[in-house]
């Protein structure tokens, strides 16, 4: 559908105002909200995610595309809520205790949202206990932990342990990422997945939710 393609294309260029107007037009034309979301906004972000993963575009391009997506999605949110649409999964995300870096974590959040997942952003400097308490209270299927410092990445092991201690380890997947983090470290601490970039994180999250 031409209008949905236009939404996707304008989103990829980060043209937030145009995306907002086109989404409004699509709603007025009676296109179902979930169709606009999936075939306009999310399909646009999928292209952005793939290009970012391939190093064809850079962080600012992802940011302006995500901002455009948010402006369009804000118009759809009340309609989707009225329709009783369910998200495909719930994730809590944060940068671990002692670490205040948030750009990577924010990129992952944007990419997760662009896949239609509900994301609870706990911000930075998040304790292991808070990750686990939030997952329990909100029913999150995935916990995503970010660390940019070699001195803070150890908190990720605390998150795995806290999930075990709380008895929810078999109900929640734990994903980790950040500059010093590796696949070997993921295996060492018993987390479920390490991803090297935001786009892959979103793909892996969706795959984990599908089981």
Partner 1 sequence: MTERENMQLVWDHKRPGWVPMMTKASQMLITPEINDRPLFADGNDWFGVPWELDPDNPQFMTHVKPGFSMFDDITEWKDYITFPKMSSLNWEMIGGRTKAMWADKENTMGYVVCNMGAFEKINAIMGFENGLCALYDTEDYIDFVNAYADYRIEEMYYVKKYMDADFMMMHDDWGNQNNLFLSPDLWREIFKEPERRMAEACRNLGMHYMHHSCGYIEPIVGDLVEIGVESWHSVSPVNDLAKIKAEYGDKLVFAGGVDPQVTDRLDASEEDIRKEVRRCIDVLGKDGGLLCGSAVMFSTVQGVDALIEDEGTKYGKY
* Binding positions for partner 1, rule: CB under 8 A: 14, 55, 57-60, 63-64, 67, 98, 100, 102-104, 106, 123-124, 149-151, 153-154, 179-180, 196-197
Q: Which is nearer to partner 1, 88 or 150 (CB)?
A: 150
Instruction: Answer for the pair 73, 24: CB distance below 8 angstroms, yes or no.
Output: no
Tally of CB atoms within 10 A around 93: 27
Tally of CB atoms within 10 A around 184: 9
CB 98 → partner 1: shortest distance, Å? Answer: 5
Alpha helices, H only, 166-197: 183-189
Q: Which is nearer to partner 1, 46 or 197 (CB)?
A: 197
β-pairing verdict for 193-194 and 173-177: parallel
In this structure, what token pair is assigned to residue 148? Answer: 């940019």
For helices 59-83 and 103-114, what crossing angle results, to 10°? 40
CB 97 → partner 1: shortest distance, Å? Answer: 8
Q: Taking Cα atoms as reference points, which of 203, 97, 108 lies closest to residue 157?
A: 97
Q: Which is nearer to partner 1, 123 or 167 (CB)?
A: 123
CB 123 → partner 1: shortest distance, Å? Answer: 8
Q: Which is nearer to partner 1, 116 or 178 (CB)?
A: 178
Q: Taking Cα atoms as reference points, which of 2, 43, 3 lies closest to residue 27?
A: 3
Which parts of 20-171 are beta strand (E)?
90-95, 118-121, 142-146
CB 57 → partner 1: shortest distance, Å? Answer: 8
Q: Which is nearer to partner 1, 23 or 96 (CB)?
A: 96
CB 66 → partner 1: shortest distance, Å? Answer: 9
Q: Which is nearer to partner 1, 39 or 158 (CB)?
A: 158
In this structure, what token pair is assigned to residue 118? Answer: 């509900």
CB 148 → partner 1: shortest distance, Å? Answer: 9
Q: How far apart are CA 151 and CA 56, in angstroms?
A: 31
At residue 119, the 3 state secondary structure works out as strand
């Amino acid at each position: 559908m031409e209008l949905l393609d236009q939404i996707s294309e304008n989103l990829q260029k980060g043209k937030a105002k145009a995306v907002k107007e086109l989404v409004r037009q699509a709603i007025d034309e009676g296109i179902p909200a979930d169709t606009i979301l999936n075939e306009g906004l999310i399909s646009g972000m999928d292209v952005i995610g793939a290009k970012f993963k391939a190093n064809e575009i850079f962080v600012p391009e992802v940011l302006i595309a995500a901002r455009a997506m948010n402006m369009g999605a804000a118009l759809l949110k009340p309609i989707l809520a009225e329709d009783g649409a369910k998200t495909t999964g719930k994730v809590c995300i944060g940068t671990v205790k002692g670490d205040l870096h948030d750009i990577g974590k924010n990129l992952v959040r944007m990419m997760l949202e662009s896949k239609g997942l509900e994301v609870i952003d706990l911000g930075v400097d998040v304790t292991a206990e808070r990750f686990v308490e939030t997952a329990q209270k909100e029913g999150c299927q995935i916990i995503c932990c970010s660390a940019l410092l070699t001195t803070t990445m150890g908190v990720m092991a605390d998150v795995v342990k806290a999930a075990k201690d709380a008895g929810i380890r078999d109900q929640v997947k734990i994903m980790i990422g950040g500059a010093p983090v590796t696949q070997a470290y993921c295996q060492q601490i018993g987390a479920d997945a390490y991803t090297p970039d935001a786009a892959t994180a979103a793909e892996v999250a969706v795959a984990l939710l599908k089981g």
